[in-house]
């Protein structure tokens, strides 16, 4: 069988968790390949809402094994906290159910302190990071001084390495940012404690995935964040510090391209973005409130990780064409179609305009979105409740028309449309 990759086709928060939940039914392994606890994946099973940040969403299926691949960055405190929470909810994350690559990098309190200090120093130019220490951890990785999970296998040298790491970070914190230094000894002791708990989870995940694929099993790569937050291909500098795109899954898991099967791009039926940076189709006022929700429901547009209200806008097909091409998407999954019910007409961005010239795709990739004006087409809305729809024929003509329009414009078929937060509220097309 194949490695199927689930990718965020926007700026994150597309509903990847629920798609992974759906597709994990016949997968053996569900693997995170990039990012860390900056992600927030929500899975609703009956009355229970699972909010996961680090552990792959597939964990809610007892038959799957979760993997945190070499491309991820792991804060052991969050990971252990998440394990405890899941345990309270009846899911025991034993070393049989979760495997961590020794090459994944560690996030420490020093990384978090640096993230906060760097953001504060940026003043008006803030990126709006999740303050989880993601950027500084990847900076240490590329500077080749990062701490890796595999170092937890030797407690003594781990303690020394953590002390060195904190001492180095303290220099930056105090001299560059005028921030408080951390207690290196205390952090080292903390990490030795984490190592004792996490050691049994460390495994050669790349080989494990290879073997599963060789044995004809299905492996799901669970994307975090989204294509437009990709370090190389996103809206730099308002991006994350990893590659949450399909090729990133191969690097971040240590799997060759031969095994790739479906590449599913998950997109909401409208646009959202947290943090700073351009959002060409941004809405405000009543319509924005309508799309965002008030925050009273777990699926309203408020960050799972930070609680920040998300910015919202009309669906942007210029960006979706770009993400389809970049990831080589074979299918689209459209989420939150039900939120559009009752909005008439629906606007959808099909091109950008700048200095009198029209663009179907950005002329220089995502170099800058500044100054590009969205060009909209108007589509008729629908008033029929779609939440009970399960098949194509259950959808009203105008809801079908909205989906077909997206397929034609982007050139990728829509395989699913979610029509509510519950697991079964899904139209399979
Ligand atoms: P960082 O990943 O915490 O460094 O944040 C960099 C940018 O990515 C900020 O704009 C964040 O809001 C955004 N970001 C990071 N993770 C997510 C996510 O899971 N969903 C949506 N936005 C995210």
pLDDT in tens, 297-324: 878 899 877 788 999 999 999 999 999 9
Candidate from 127, 225, 235 with most ligand 1 atoms within 8 A of CB, to mutate: 225
**Would you call 33 exposed, middle or buried from its count of C-beta atoms within 10 A (0-12, 13-18, 19+)?**
buried
Cβ contacts of residue 45 below 8 Å, gap of 6+? 21, 60, 423
Give me the pLDDT at residue 427, please.
97
pLDDT in tens, 200-226: 999 999 999 999 999 999 999 999 999
pLDDT at 98 over 90: yes
Average pLDDT over residues 160-186: 97
Give me the pLDDT at residue 70, please.
98
Give me the pLDDT at residue 421, please.
87
What whole-number distance in Å separates Cα of residue 115 and Cα of residue 135? 7
pLDDT in tens, 322-347: 999 999 999 999 999 999 999 999 99
What whole-number distance in Å separates Cα of residue 335 and Cα of residue 296? 19
**Would you call 275 exposed, middle or buried from its count of C-beta atoms within 10 A (0-12, 13-18, 19+)?**
buried
Nearest alpha carbon, ligand 1 atom 17: 225
d(CA 273, ligand 1 centre) in Å: 9
Categorize the per-residue pLDDT at 414 as very low, low, confident or very high, splitting at 50, 70 and 90: very high
Pocket lining for ligand 1, CB < 6 angstroms: 11-13, 38-40, 127-130, 132, 134-135, 224-225, 229, 238, 240-241, 274-275
Catalytic residue among 41, 61, 105, 233: 41
Give me the pLDDT at residue 304, please.
74
pLDDT at 44 over 90: no
Question: Which among 267, 241, 393 is positioned nearest to 335, based on CA atoms?
Answer: 267
d(CA 84, ligand 1 centre) in Å: 24
Nearest alpha carbon, ligand 1 atom 20: 12
Give me the pLDDT at residue 337, please.
96
Q: Which stretches of 90-133 are DSSP H helices?
A: 109-122
Candidate from 38, 273, 310 with most ligand 1 atoms within 8 A of CB, to mutate: 38
Task: Tell me if residue 41 is catalytic.
Answer: yes
The atom number, within ligand 1, closest to the CA of 13 reads 20
Cβ contacts of residue 341 below 8 Å, gap of 6+? 381, 382, 383, 384, 385, 386
Nearest alpha carbon, ligand 1 atom 19: 39
Average pLDDT over residues 412-425: 94
Cβ contacts of residue 217 below 8 Å, gap of 6+? 1, 27, 28, 29
pLDDT in tens, 123-153: 888 999 999 999 999 999 999 999 999 999 9
Give me the pLDDT at residue 374, please.
96
Task: Tell me if residue 111 is catalytic.
Answer: no
Give me the pLDDT at residue 275, please.
82
pLDDT at 7 over 80: yes
DSSP state of 301: S
Average pLDDT over residues 383-399: 96
Cβ contacts of residue 395 below 8 Å, gap of 6+? 386, 389, 403, 417, 427
Residue percentage of the chain with pLDDT more than 90: 87
Nearest alpha carbon, ligand 1 atom 11: 129
pLDDT at 255 over 80: yes
């Amino acid at each position: 069988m194949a490695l199927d990759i689930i990718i965020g086709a926007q700026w994150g928060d597309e509903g990847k968790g629920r798609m992974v939940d759906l597709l994990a039914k016949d997968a053996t392994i569900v693997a995170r390949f990039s990012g860390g606890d900056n992600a927030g994946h929500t899975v609703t099973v009956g009355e229970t809402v699972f909010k996961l940040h680090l552990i792959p969403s597939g964990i809610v299926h007892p038959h799957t094994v979760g993997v945190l691949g070499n491309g991820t960055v792991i804060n052991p405190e969050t990971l252990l906290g998440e394990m405890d929470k899941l345990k309270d909810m009846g899911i025991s994350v034993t070393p049989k159910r979760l495997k961590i690559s020794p090459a994944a990098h560690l996030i420490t309190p020093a990384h978090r302190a640096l993230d906060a200090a760097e953001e504060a120093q940026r003043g008006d130019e803030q990126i709006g990071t999740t303050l989880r220490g993601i950027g500084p951890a990847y900076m240490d990785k590329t500077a080749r001084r990062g701490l890796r999970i595999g170092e937890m296998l030797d407690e003594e040298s781990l303690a020394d390495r953590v002390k060195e790491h904190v001492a180095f970070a303290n220099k930056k914190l105090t001299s560059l940012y005028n921030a408080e230094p951390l207690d290196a000894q205390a952090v080292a002791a903390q990490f030795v404690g984490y190592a004792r708990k996490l050691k049994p989870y460390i495994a050669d995940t790349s080989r494990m995935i290879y073997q599963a694929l060789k044995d004809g099993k299905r492996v799901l790569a669970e994307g975090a964040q989204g294509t437009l937050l990709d370090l190389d291909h996103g809206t730099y500098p308002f991006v994350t510090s990893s590659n949450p795109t399909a090729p990133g899954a191969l690097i971040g898991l240590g799997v060759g391209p031969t095994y790739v099967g479906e590449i599913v791009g998950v997109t909401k039926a409208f646009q959202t973005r947290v943090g700073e940076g351009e959002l060409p189709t941004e809405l405000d006022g009543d319509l924005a409130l309508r799309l965002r929700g008030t925050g009273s429901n777990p699926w309203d547009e408020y960050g799972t990780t930070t609680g920040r209200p998300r910015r919202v806008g009309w669906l942007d097909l210029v960006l979706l064409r770009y993400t389809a091409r970049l990831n080589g998407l074979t299918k689209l999954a459209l989420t939150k179609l039900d939120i559009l019910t009752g909005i008439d007409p629906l606007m959808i961005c099909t091109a950008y305009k700048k200095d009198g010239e029209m663009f179907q795709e950005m002329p220089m990739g995502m170099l800058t979105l500044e100054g590009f004006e969205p060009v909209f087409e108007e589509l008729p809305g629908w008033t029929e409740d779609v939440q009970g729809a399960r098949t194509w024929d259950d959808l009203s003509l105008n809801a079908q028309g909205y989906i077909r329009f997206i397929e034609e414009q982007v050139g990728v078929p829509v395989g699913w449309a979610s029509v509510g937060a519950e697991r079964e509220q899904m139209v399979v097309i």
